[in-house]
Amino acid sequence: MSDEPGTIVVIEDDPNIADLVDMYLRRDGFRVIQASTAKAGLEAVAREHPRLVVLDIGLPDRMDGLEVCRTLRATSDVPVVILTARDAEVDRILGLELGADDYVTKPFSPRELVARVRAILRRSEPSARSGAGTLRIGDVEVDLDRHEIRLAGDVVAFTTREFDLLACLADNEGLVLSRRQLLDGVWGADWVGDDRTVDVHVRQLRKKLGGALPLTTVWGVGYRLG
């Protein structure tokens, strides 16, 4: 990660929570832009080009946080951390399927949120794997230097988590990796969440790469690429 932490846009309509997140992120060196509505948040992202977005689901205007996430994914690969009181599994899965890199439920630890932000930014930094080269699986290329995934030479849009998951699988081509191994390798050993997170991201990889990705489910164990 670069020495300059950069800008984070916090889209949150509760001023107390927004100020709490703002305070802890600023303590860690980030520049923070607050937005209390979906419209203002999207405008801030377009204007500021932040390194990451912290996004609430329950926003006061007609567009909720999930719609904001969908809109961001159509125009940007900026990492998104959803911060919400909605803790139902269906909301978590939907948020991840729409392209969120992480999903944190309220009440939350501000220090843990900052740690998760830092972890995502470390993984999304192309220079973190500088000189690592390109992993190839058939027509799929995982360019670790450029932080790109290409299918038959064309760049395919991926979230940071999806990229890291595919890179982890490609780096262990031919081996069966359990969900726990994938969680530890991609999300970190301190990840708080269930194994379904892996399944959601695998589903997204298959959706985006189709039959070009030789990714096999080994029932009761995990996944194997190649």
- Residue 187 is predicted with a pLDDT of 82
DSSP string, 106-139: SS--HHHHHHHHHHHHHHH-GGGGTT--EEEETT
Flag whether 1 is in a domain.
no
What's the CATH number where 23 sits?
Answer: 3.40.50.2300
- Residue 39 is predicted with a pLDDT of 95
Calpha distance 180→198 (Å, rounded):
9
Flag whether 27 is in a domain.
yes
* pTM across the whole model: 0.71
The answer to whether residues 186 and 106 belong to one domain is no
The answer to whether residues 202 and 144 belong to one domain is yes
The answer to whether residues 12 and 115 belong to one domain is yes
133-150 mean pLDDT: 89
The answer to whether residues 162 and 208 belong to one domain is yes
How far is CA 193 from each of CA 42, 79, 100, 101, 197, rounded to the nearest angstrom? Answer: 28, 19, 14, 13, 7
Cβ-contact 139, 129 below 8 angstroms: no
The answer to whether residues 20 and 118 belong to one domain is yes
The answer to whether residues 113 and 159 belong to one domain is no
- Residue 221 is predicted with a pLDDT of 87
Q: Which range has the worst mean pLDDT, 28-32, 90-94, 149-153, 214-218?
A: 90-94
The answer to whether residues 17 and 49 belong to one domain is yes
- Residue 125 is predicted with a pLDDT of 64
Q: Residues 6 or more apart from 35 whose CB is under 8 A from it?
A: 9, 10, 11, 12, 41, 43, 44
Flag whether 74 is in a domain.
yes
Domain end, chosen from 69, 95, 124, is at 124
The answer to whether residues 116 and 137 belong to one domain is no
- Please indicate whether residue 26 or residue 112 has the higher confidence score (pLDDT): 26
22-49 mean pLDDT: 95
174-181 mean pLDDT: 90
Structure tokens at 15: 């001023």
Calpha distance 31→9 (Å, rounded):
9
Flag whether 218 is in a domain.
yes
135-158 mean pLDDT: 90
Share of the chain above pLDDT 90, in %: 46
The answer to whether residues 17 and 100 belong to one domain is yes
Q: Coil, strand, or helix at residue 149?
A: strand
The answer to whether residues 38 and 12 belong to one domain is yes
CA atoms within 13 A on the CB side of 151: 14
Calpha distance 158→166 (Å, rounded):
10
Domain end, chosen from 90, 124, 158, is at 124
The answer to whether residues 16 and 113 belong to one domain is yes
Give phi and psi for 48, each to the nearest 5: -95, -20
pLDDT classification of 131: cutoffs 50, 70, 90:
low
Query: What is the total count of domains within the chain?
Result: 2
Structure tokens at 154: 């064309």
State yes or no: pLDDT of 129 exceeds 60: no
Beta strands in 29-133 (DSSP E): 31-35, 52-55, 80-84, 102-105
Cβ-contact 103, 95 below 8 angstroms: yes
Calpha distance 35→43 (Å, rounded):
9
Q: Which helix (H) or strand (E) holds 225?
A: strand 222-225
What's the CATH number where 172 sits?
Answer: 1.10.10.10
Flag whether 207 is in a domain.
yes
The answer to whether residues 120 and 136 belong to one domain is no
- Residue 96 is predicted with a pLDDT of 84
Flag whether 158 is in a domain.
yes
Domain end, chosen from 93, 124, 155, is at 124
- Residue 1 is predicted with a pLDDT of 46
Q: Which range has the worst mean pLDDT, 6-10, 85-89, 164-168?
A: 85-89
- Residue 122 is predicted with a pLDDT of 76
Full residue range of the structural domain in which residue 212 is found = 128-225
| Mean pLDDT taken over the chain | 87
Flag whether 2 is in a domain.
no
Cβ-contact 201, 177 below 8 angstroms: no
Flag whether 80 is in a domain.
yes
Calpha distance 83→208 (Å, rounded):
26
